[in-house]
Structure formats: structure tokens, C-alpha cells
């Protein structure tokens, strides 16, 4: 009898300990967690990293479009890989105007093919995309963060949804705040993620109105530094639709804080960059990282990327795990 009581006591003690440990366990969001594939496909993250590092070493300019690919995926239908899908009628997200400059889809394909060989049907394309975005930044000596995995892949892609949901380089601060808030992201996330413009290129059509016809009277944007505007006009004629422009001139291959300095000097390339000076929260963060030696930008960027990576995810039995990222099973 005494042995039975001791057994029951031990059982309840273990239950209490288990409950207490669960209170202090890392928080999982909607079925996501760091290390989701540790048992089912333990080499998954290393496999993705290998392909990303090899590609970015050959072409450092791939870093920016790979980062933007994940951003553009998450803002349309959530982080579920719809940006990777292709339709015969071309009415997919890939063919939406904001996505036409995305590059690096072959890196996703190659990593996924290797994963299918290593552990078939386990790792989703949406998780590959999340891992690729992080690894591309690390390959550029930028920030690193722990990527939550466990996403499943969506079944739908729609060109119109991309046009409706993706923030525009022409947006003012009110529109940007509203769009980010609709995805569960706050003003700090807005300015931090905008800092990703420290790498990569824009194109002339995205700034033509700022240079030549800002208010419809043949004028330029008064919020654009005059010398910088003159320099841009030399590169972009009114009918130019192809010329690429460094978003962070002189530093567009390096992930750093110099973007914030440029915006503070009214030299942000896009209207949406300049808009960050029109709100006290975004302006305060921006100026803090111009004048401070103790930048938290890299850490903050990782936090905001994790937060963005939780938007509209499919987990459990929702969606599917695609065999090939460009098509549903």
C-alpha cells in the first residue's frame, strides 16, 4: 500500500514538473518552432545553407531578391510559398509587376530537389524560402536569426492578390502603416524591415514620378535632396523602363546601417523610404541608428523577420508539402 501511495505521489510530482517546464519552454506560434525538422530531416537547414552560400558567393547581388522573395510571399496569402507557384495562364503572383524583378528561384528549386532526395515529402517550399532569406543575409555578413519552421505550402496563387497586398514604393506613411498593421506588424517592424533596402536595386519606373512629375505639374518631389535628384535624372530619363539603381549607393552589396543615414539626408530612393521621416516612431528609430554607435538594427531585423514569418502560415494538415515548388502536387 505504501509503495502504491509513493508511486501515485511520484506521478503527480512529475506532472507538476512537466507543467512548470512547459511554462518556460520556447513559445511556438501556430505550430511553428525552431528545429521543426531536427528528427524528420536533420540535415535540412545545412542543405539549404549550402546552396545559398554557393549562389551568393558567385553573385552577391542575389541576396536582395532572395530576401524580397520571402517578404513578397508573406504579404500575399501569408508565408505559404504562393509566390513560387506558376500557372499556364501566367496569372500567378510571379507575373505581378512588383515580382517581375525577383531572381533566384533556381536556388529554391535546387535546394528543394536535394531535400527531396534526402528526406522525401518532409520539408515544405515555404520553409525553404524562409531559410533561404536568412542564409542569404548571413552570406552577406548581415544579421542572423533562428528560423521557425513547420509551415506547409499553399495551393493557390493569384496575380491580383499580389497587386493588392504588396506595399508600393509610391506609398505614403499612412498607407504603409495600415498595410503593415493588417499583417500584424507595427511601426517598428515597418522601419526595421525597410532597412532591408540597404542591399539591392530599384529601377527607374519606380522613381520617375519623384523626378519629373510629382504633383502632376512637371515638378520633382520636394522631399528628395536636390543634388541626389539631379544625379538620378542623369541616370533615368522619363521613358527609361530598365535601368537599375543602387538603393544604397556605394554599399548595395553590404548589409549595414547606411540606409538610415541616406534616408535622413533625404536620399532614400523610393517615396516609401522618404515617408519614414513622416512618423515620429519610424523617424526616431531611423535617426537613432544614424547617430548611435550601439546599433540594435541587426538584432531588430531578426526579430521582425521572425514576426513576419508567422503571417498567415499553414500548419498541421492544412495545405500540403509540395514535391516541386513551382507546382502543386
- 248 carries a ligand binding annotation: yes
- 76 carries a ligand binding annotation: yes
- Looking at residue 197, what DSSP letter applies? G
Residues belonging to the active site: 72
Sign of CA dihedral 9, 15, 16, 17: positive
- 278 carries a ligand binding annotation: no
Sign of CA dihedral 173, 174, 177, 182: negative
Query: Is the separation of the CB atoms in 209 and 224 below 8 Å?
Result: no
- 38 carries a ligand binding annotation: no
- 200 carries a ligand binding annotation: no
- 169 carries a ligand binding annotation: no
- 198 carries a ligand binding annotation: yes
Q: What is the three-state SS of 248-283? A: CCCCCCCCCCHHHHHHHCCCCCCHHHHHHHHCHHHH
Cell digits of residue 204? 527607374
Query: Is the separation of the CB atoms in 158 and 93 below 8 Å?
Result: yes
- 256 carries a ligand binding annotation: yes
- As a whole number of angstroms, the distance between CA 167 and CA 71 comes to 10
Cell numbers 516609401 correspond to 272
- As a whole number of angstroms, the distance between CA 8 and CA 261 comes to 65
Which residues are annotated binding-site positions for heme b? Answer: 197
Q: Which residues are annotated as a binding site for substrate?
A: 167
Q: Tell me the binding residues.
A: 73, 76, 78, 82, 93, 167, 197-198, 248, 256
* Residue positions forming the annotated binding site for Ca(2+): 73, 76, 78, 82, 93, 198, 248, 256
Amino acid at each position: 500500500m505504501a509503495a502504491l501511495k509513493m508511486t501515485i505521489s511520484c506521478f503527480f510530482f512529475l506532472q507538476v514538473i512537466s507543467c512548470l517546464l512547459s511554462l518556460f519552454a520556447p513559445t511556438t506560434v501556430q505550430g511553428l518552432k525552431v528545429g521543426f525538422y531536427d528528427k524528420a530531416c536533420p540535415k535540412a537547414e545545412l542543405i539549404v545553407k549550402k546552396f545559398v552560400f554557393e549562389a551568393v558567393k558567385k553573385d552577391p547581388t542575389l541576396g536582395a531578391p532572395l530576401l524580397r522573395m520571402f517578404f513578397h510571399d508573406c504579404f500575399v496569402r501569408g508565408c505559404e510559398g504562393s509566390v513560387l507557384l506558376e500557372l499556364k495562364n501566367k496569372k500567378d503572383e510571379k507575373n505581378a509587376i512588383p515580382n517581375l524583378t525577383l531572381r533566384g528561384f533556381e536556388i529554391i528549386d535546387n535546394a528543394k530537389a536535394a531535400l527531396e532526395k534526402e528526406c522525401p515529402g518532409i520539408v515544405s517550399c515555404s520553409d525553404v524560402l524562409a531559410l533561404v532569406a536568412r542564409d542569404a543575409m548571413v552570406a552577406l555578413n548581415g544579421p542572423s536569426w533562428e528560423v521557425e519552421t513547420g509551415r506547409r505550402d499553399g495551393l493557390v496563387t493569384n496575380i491580383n492578390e499580389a497587386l493588392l497586398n504588396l506595399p508600393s514604393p509610391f506609398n505614403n506613411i499612412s498607407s504603409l502603416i495600415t498595410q503593415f498593421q493588417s499583417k500584424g506588424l507595427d511601426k517598428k517592424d515597418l522601419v526595421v524591415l525597410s532597412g532591408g533596402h540597404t542591399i539591392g536595386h530599384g529601377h527607374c519606373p519606380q522613381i520617375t514620378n519623384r523626378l519629373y512629375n510629382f504633383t502632376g505639374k512637371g515638378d520633382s518631389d520636394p522631399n528628395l535632396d536636390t543634388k541626389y535628384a539631379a544625379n538620378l535624372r542623369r541616370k533615368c530619363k522619363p521613358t527609361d523602363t530598365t535601368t537599375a539603381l543602387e538603393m544604397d549607393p556605394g554599399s548595395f552589396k553590404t548589409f549595414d546601417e547606411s540606409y538610415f543615414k541616406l534616408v535622413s539626408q533625404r536620399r532614400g530612393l523610393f517615396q516609401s523610404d522618404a515617408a519614414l521621416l513622416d512618423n515620429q516612431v519610424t523617424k526616431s528609430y531611423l535617426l537613432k541608428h544614424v547617430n548611435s554607435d550601439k546599433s540594435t538594427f541587426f538584432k531588430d531585423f531578426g526579430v521582425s523577420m521572425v514576426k513576419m514569418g508567422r503571417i498567415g502560415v499553414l500548419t498541421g494538415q492544412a495545405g500540403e508539402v509540395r514535391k516541386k515548388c513551382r507546382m502543386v502536387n
